[in-house]
Amino acid sequence: MHDRELIKNEIDILPDYILEKLQEFILFQKFNHRQNLIKEVNTDDLIGASMSSVDFWDNPDDEVWDNV
């Protein structure tokens, strides 16, 4: 929380023309953060689907194939 307060204090002393660029940068960072969250969810979904598609092979009858 300390960082947030420091940033707010710095923003208060910036001239208006710099605030526009700062706002663009903040929006860019928010977009990147959302994209990374979406990628993480998609990756987790793919891993889950992959594991569920091979789970049926993990049984005593198929143990002879475990090291192939």
C-alpha span between 25 and 19 (Å, rounded): 10
Work out whether the CA dihedral 18, 23, 28, 33 comes out positive or negative.
positive
Q: Is the pLDDT reported for residue 1 higher than 80?
A: no
In the structure, what pLDDT confidence band is assigned to residue 56 with cuts at 50, 70 and 90? low
The pLDDT value recorded for residue 22 is 94
The pLDDT value given to residue 63 = 75
In this prediction, residue 54 carries a pLDDT of 67
The three-class DSSP label of residue 15 is coil
How do the domains of the chain map onto residue ranges?
Answer: 15-50
Could you tell me if 54 and 65 are in contact, meaning their C-beta atoms sit under 8 angstroms apart? no
Question: What would the pLDDT profile of 21-53 be if each residue is shown by its tens digit?
Answer: 999 999 999 999 988 888 877 787 777 777 766
